[in-house]
Amino acid sequence: MEQSMDSVLDQFKNFIFILKEPIFQINGTKISIFSFVISISLFLITVKVARYIAKATNAALEKKEVDSGLRNSIEKFVRYIIITLGMLFSLDNLGISINSLAALSAVLMVGIGFGLQNITQNFISGIILLIERPVKVGDIIQVGETSGRIVDIHVRSTMIQTRDDVTIMVPNSKLLSEDVINDSYTGERIRQHVKVGVAYSSDVNKVMSLLVQAASMHPTVLQDPPPIAIFENFGESSLDFDLRFWSSDIWYMDRVASDIRVEIMSLFRAQNIEIPFPQRDLHIKSEGKGPQ
């Protein structure tokens, strides 16, 4: 029994010896399977710790009623900093010092200059977005043909959920290089317009009153400031009005405008107010032929 235990112990020692046996060297530091496993384990533990600390930071800021967008930005920064430190410690354990990384970075810059420009640009843009916060998680924006709510901002891209429940990944550089409409930047309300034309025979004051009534009846339309109707212009075949109102429902603003248009049609029909359509008079001139 004692001999078998000694045999197992010797095998274990041999196994440990193999793990610690140097495979190669980096800057004079001997690298073994054991040191490599330790470095990988250290990095994985750092990633988990970073996630835990970042979430704890977000929760602490939430208790202090800090803005959600700022909380998310700070959470990401805390996570990235801890992961970066963990990666440096892991590389140091393998004998790769900061000076070595600087030399390696110089070599990589050449590759970045030729083949990784887009990735680098999006990475730097992501850092700028997290620092300056022109847009944040929860904002409703429009960039190019994409419109929706920001659900997450990564280092390379921003996730936008459209009103069709489709998630689109937009490169961060696009949010800095193109015109971005941020409907949520000044708050959770937005002013909308509904334009309508009526026949020239209509009572202007009654039309304006009905337009304001149609907007005021909608539950998401704010009464402060109140809806107003503007007599915009004398059109070719109609008197043109612009109904302006503030709504607290930014996400469904197109549905709000649709509901108000339906109400306008109902009120106009009840009051016999006509919404004309463009008409054109066509005159046909025929040229008679003389006797042959």
Position 218 in a domain: yes
Position 288 in a domain: no
Position 283 in a domain: no
Q: Are residues 221 and 266 in the same domain?
A: yes
Distance CA(148)–CA(139), nearest Å, equals 8
Q: Are residues 36 and 73 in the same domain?
A: yes
CATH code of residue 227: 3.30.70.100
Distance CA(27)–CA(132), nearest Å, equals 40
Q: Are residues 178 and 228 in the same domain?
A: no
Q: Are residues 178 and 201 in the same domain?
A: no
Report pTM: 0.60
Are the C-beta atoms of 77 and 130 separated by less than 8 Å? Answer: yes
Position 125 in a domain: no
Number of folded domains that form the chain = 3
Q: Is 290 helix (H, G, I), strand (E, B) or coil?
A: coil
Position 8 in a domain: no
- Helix ranges (H only) for 64-203 are 68-93, 98-115, 117-132, 172-177
Q: Are residues 176 and 197 in the same domain?
A: no
Which residue range forms the structural domain that includes residue 150? 134-182
Are the C-beta atoms of 172 and 156 separated by less than 8 Å? Answer: yes
CATH code of residue 163: 2.30.30.60
Position 278 in a domain: no
CATH code of residue 78: 1.10.287.1260
Q: Are residues 79 and 150 in the same domain?
A: no
Q: Sign of dihedral through CA atoms 212, 217, 218, 219?
A: positive
Are the C-beta atoms of 95 and 28 separated by less than 8 Å? Answer: yes
Position 128 in a domain: no
Q: Which two tokens stand for residue 138?
A: 């929860």
Are the C-beta atoms of 152 and 170 separated by less than 8 Å? Answer: no
Are the C-beta atoms of 127 and 155 separated by less than 8 Å? Answer: yes
* Tens-binned pLDDT, residue by residue, of the chain (292 aa): 555 555 655 555 555 555 556 555 555 556 666 677 777 888 888 888 888 888 888 888 788 776 666 677 778 778 888 888 888 777 776 666 656 555 555 555 555 555 567 777 887 887 788 777 888 888 999 998 889 999 988 878 899 999 888 999 999 889 988 889 998 877 778 899 999 999 999 999 999 999 999 999 999 999 989 999 999 999 888 999 999 999 988 888 899 999 999 999 999 999 999 988 766 666 676 665 555 4
Position 205 in a domain: yes
